[in-house]
């Protein structure tokens, strides 16, 4: 208890949308950042307490709002199909591997598009909770105003709305709902967070204007 360490960062992004801060020193006490200052003011009397990441840029932990923890991301359709038809043990191993990959790349929260309730419940003492990753699962993809209204009472943690085609579609992005319908859905979302599938500058702009919480 009471240990103080210093982290030197070549760049620091604080998540406030301000410009990247350069040559920053983070003061960490008992594992918590309690001061952010200039590296020029770094105390030099205890080099053992200094972690030098002057060649790196530090940024807040990331939240990925479009993942499939129990499915292979391979572009090989045969690989993806084999995982989709796999048994419980193989899917559980895939989830565990993907959570490790998330941590390695700084992703500490995910909004998952699979139905992995059984996996989470089965391994909640080990695979998920010990991995310290925040998982939120979505209900079915909403493709119409009527469907979205009907699914507000479903068990998903967030609402996922298909507003334009996905990046895997060969056709160019197109709207599945008109902008007014999207706005109406988001105004009556039942208190849920919303992720909107929006690919294309216009679609993303419209989804943000409508008040979505995240873009996929």
Residue 27 and residue 71 in contact, taking contact as beta carbons nearer than 8 Å:
no
Asked if the model's pLDDT at residue 131 lies above 70, the reply is no
| pLDDT at position 32 | 86
121-124: long-range contacts at Cβ-Cβ below 8 A with a sequence spacing of 24 or more?
A: 122/88, 122/92, 123/92, 123/95, 123/96
Q: Which fold has domain 4-58?
A: Urease, subunit C; domain 1 (2.30.40)
Asked if the model's pLDDT at residue 73 lies above 60, the reply is yes
| pLDDT at position 22 | 94
pTM of the model: 0.58
Q: Which fold has domain 138-216?
A: TIM Barrel (3.20.20)
Give the domain ranges of the chain: 4-58, 61-136, 138-216
The CA distances from residue 181 to 55, 152, 163, 206, 212, in Å, are 47, 15, 10, 11, 13
| pLDDT at position 15 | 77
Per-residue pLDDT tens over the stretch 84-107: 778 888 888 888 888 888 888 888
Domains 4-58 and 138-216 share a fold: no
> Which SS3 state, helix, strand or coil, does residue 109 take?
strand
């Amino acid at each position: 208890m009471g240990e103080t360490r210093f982290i030197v960062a070549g760049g620091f992004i604080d998540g406030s949308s301000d410009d990247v801060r350069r040559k920053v020193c983070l003061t960490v006490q008992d594992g918590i950042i309690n001061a952010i200052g200039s590296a020029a003011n770094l105390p030099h009397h205890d080099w053992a307490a200094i972690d030098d990441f002057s060649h790196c840029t530090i940024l807040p932990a990331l939240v990925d709002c479009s993942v499939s923890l129990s499915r292979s991301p391979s572009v090989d359709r045969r690989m993806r199909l084999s995982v989709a038809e796999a048994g419980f043990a193989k899917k559980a191993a895939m989830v565990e591997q993907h959570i490790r990959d998330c941590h390695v790349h700084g992703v500490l929260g995910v909004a998952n598009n699979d139905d992995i309730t059984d996996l989470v419940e089965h391994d909640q003492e080990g695979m998920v909770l010990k991995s310290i990753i925040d998982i939120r699962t979505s209900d079915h993809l909403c493709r119409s105003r009527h469907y979205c209204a009907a699914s507000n009472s479903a068990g998903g943690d967030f609402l996922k709305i298909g507003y334009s085609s996905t990046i895997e579609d060969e056709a160019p992005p197109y709207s599945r709902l008109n902008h007014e319908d999207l706005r109406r859905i988001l105004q009556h979302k039942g208190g849920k967070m919303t992720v909107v599938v929006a690919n294309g500058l216009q679609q993303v702009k419209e989804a943000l204007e409508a008040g979505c919480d995240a873009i996929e």
